[in-house]
Structure 1
Amino acid sequence: MTTYDLLGIGVGPFNLSLAALADPLEDVSTLFLEEKPEFSWHPGLLIDGTTLQVPFLADPVTLADPTSQWSFLAYLAEHERLYPFYFAENFHISRREYDHYCRWVSEELPSCRFGQRVTAVHWDADGEVFRVEAQDVHTDRCETFAARNVVLGVGTEPVVPAPLRGLPDKEVFHSSSYLDNAESLHEAGDITVLGSGQSGAEVFLDLLRSPHAPGQTLRWLTRSRAFAPMEYSKLGLEHFTPDYTRYFRSLPQHTRDSVLAGQGQLYKASSAGTLAAIHDVLYERGVGGRDPDVTMMPNVAVTQAHRGDDAIELTCHHTEQDREFTVHTQRLVLATGYAARRPSCLDPLTDVVCWDSSGRYRVSDDYRVALDDAVTGGLYVQNAEMHTHGVGAPDLGLGAHRASVILNAVTGRDAYPLARRGAFTTFGLD
Structure 2
Amino acid sequence: MEQSYDVIGIGIGPFNLGLAALLEEKTTLSTAFFDETDVFQWHPGMLLDGTDLQVPFLADLVTFANPRSKYTFLNYAHIHERLMTFFFFNRFDVPRLEYNAYCQWVSQQLENCHFGTRVENVVYEANKKRYKVELLVKGKDIKRVVYANHLVVGTGSTPLVPGDMAEQLNDDIIHSSVYGHHEEDIKAARVVTVVGSGQSAAEIFYKLLHAQPEHDYELSWFTRSAGFFQLEDSKVGQELFSPSYVDYFHDLPYEARKEALPLLGNLRNGVQQKTLHKIYDLLYHRSIHTNRSPALIQAAIEVDSIEKSGPRSYKLIGKQWQQQKEFSHQTEKVVLATGYKPAIPKWLEAMKSDLVMESDKEFAVTRNAELKFKEKRSNRIFTLTNLEHGLGTSATNLGLSVERNARIVNELVGETVYQTSPGPVFQRFSEEG
Q: Give the TM-score category using the shorter length.
A: over 0.9
Cα displacement string for residues 65-120 of structure 1 (whole angstroms, at most 9, x for unaligned residues): 00000000111111111111112112110000000000010010001000010011
Contact kept, 8 Å, 1:118 with 1:345, in 2: the verdict is no
Cα displacement string for residues 372-430 of structure 1 (whole angstroms, at most 9, x for unaligned residues): 42632000001321101101100111111010010111111111122274311101123
Residue 324 (structure 2) aligned to one of 303, 322, 325? 322
Which residue does the alignment assign to 2:249?
248
Which residue does the alignment assign to 2:177?
176
The correspondence of residues 186-201 of structure 1 with structure 2, limited to 5 A, is: 186-201=187-202
Give SS of 1:274's match. Answer: helix
2: distance between equivalents of 1:53 and 1:270? 10
Amino acid across the alignment from 1:199? S
Which residue does the alignment assign to 1:134?
135
Residue 389 (structure 2) aligned to one of 383, 387, 390? 387
Gaps of 5+ in 1: none
Structure 1 residue 304 displacement after superposition: 2.6
Contact kept, 8 Å, 2:64 with 2:422, in 1: the verdict is no
Which residue does the alignment assign to 1:407?
409
Which residue does the alignment assign to 1:417?
419
Amino acid across the alignment from 1:31? A
Give SS of 2:310's match. Answer: coil
Cα displacement string for residues 11-61 of structure 1 (whole angstroms, at most 9, x for unaligned residues): 000001101111122332211001100000001011110000000000010
Normalised TM-score (structure 2): 0.96
2: distance between equivalents of 1:384 and 1:393? 8
Amino acid across the alignment from 1:155? G
Q: 1:165 and 1:241, CA in 2 relative to 1: closer, same or farther beyond 3 A?
A: same
1: distance between equivalents of 2:177 and 2:68? 34
Give SS of 1:144's match. Answer: strand
The correspondence of residues 182-221 of structure 1 with structure 2, limited to 5 A, is: 182-210=183-211, 215-221=216-222
Cα displacement string for residues 170-218 of structure 1 (whole angstroms, at most 9, x for unaligned residues): 1100000001111111111111100000000000001011256654210
2: distance between equivalents of 1:112 and 1:140? 19
Gaps of 5+ in 2: none
1: distance between equivalents of 2:430 and 2:27? 39
2: distance between equivalents of 1:80 and 1:420? 28
Q: 1:131 and 1:117, CA in 2 relative to 1: closer, same or farther beyond 3 A?
A: same
Which residue does the alignment assign to 2:88?
87
Which residue does the alignment assign to 2:359?
357
Residue 335 (structure 2) aligned to one of 333, 336, 354? 333
Which residue does the alignment assign to 2:117?
116
Instruction: Answer with 127-136 or 418-427: which moved more.
Output: 418-427
Displaced runs of 4 or more, over 6 A:
none
Contact kept, 8 Å, 2:403 with 2:421, in 1: the verdict is no
2: distance between equivalents of 1:114 and 1:226? 41
Contact kept, 8 Å, 1:195 with 1:335, in 2: the verdict is yes
The correspondence of residues 341-352 of structure 1 with structure 2, limited to 5 A, is: 341-352=343-354
Amino acid across the alignment from 1:358? D
Matched-pair identity in % = 35
Give SS of 1:316's match. Answer: strand
Contact kept, 8 Å, 2:135 with 2:145, in 1: the verdict is yes
2: distance between equivalents of 1:24 and 1:420? 19
The reply on whether 1:270 has 2:271 as its aligned counterpart is: yes
Contact kept, 8 Å, 1:119 with 1:344, in 2: the verdict is no
Structure 1 residue 350 displacement after superposition: 3.8
Aligned residues: 430
1: distance between equivalents of 2:278 and 2:175? 23
Contact kept, 8 Å, 1:221 with 1:296, in 2: the verdict is yes
Give SS of 1:202's match. Answer: helix
2: distance between equivalents of 1:225 and 1:357? 29
Amino acid across the alignment from 2:380? G
The reply on whether 1:226 has 2:193 as its aligned counterpart is: no
Amino acid across the alignment from 1:88? F
Which residue does the alignment assign to 1:373?
375
